[in-house]
Each structure stands twice: as C-alpha cells, then as structure tokens.
Amino acid sequence: METIQPCGKEGISIPRPVYNAIATLIIEQLKLQETASLPSLLQAARDKISLKAKDHWLVYYVKLDLESRGYIVADTSHQTGQLRLTGKGYATDKFY
C-alpha cells in the first residue's frame, strides 16, 4: 500500500497486512481513549501486534497517512501532540 503524507510529500510503500494492522490499532486505541500520543501508540503497537522496536517508524508513517486521509487529527490547541479521531475515523472499523 502506498501511503500519502500531508503537504504533498511522498509516502512510502507498506505491505497491506502490516498497514491494516497498524491502522486498525491506531483507530481502536483512539476509540477507547479518545486521545493518544504517538509514544503511547508506539507502545501499543509493540504490545498488541508484536511490532519490533526497529519498525516503529511504520507507525509514524501510518499515522501520517491516516491524518492525510482525514481519519485522525493532531490536537494543536494545547501543543500536547495528542491525536484524536475525526468523524470519518469513528465511522471506520477496518482497512482493506
């Protein structure tokens, strides 16, 4: 799967099963917690989908892709770096 990034930057290619696992994890975590930081999502990826520490950058790229596609937004009002779902993100259950 080719990811996209904000501001028209070039994305990367991630195997679809890996992308789906990470995207689903991010969406599920945000549905449970309402907001989450990137470090907490990285930890959840290590714990729940056995993502190795060396592959943590995949979570970052999937996060950027989900932001670019309008599923999540970064809360910049308090400069906390917290992510939250958009209406589109709440309506999503699975990625294919």
pLDDT at 62: 95
Say which CATH class 13-90 falls into: mainly alpha
What pLDDT, on a 0 to 100 scale, did the predictor assign at position 78? 64
Domain ranges of the chain: 13-90
pLDDT of residue 54: 78
Instruction: Name the pTM for this structure.
Output: 0.87
Q: Which residues contact 27 (CB under 8 A, 6 or more apart)?
A: 66, 71, 72, 85, 89, 92
pLDDT tens track for 8-21: 788 899 999 999 99
24-76 tens-digit pLDDT: 999 999 999 989 998 999 999 888 987 777 788 999 999 999 999 999 998 87
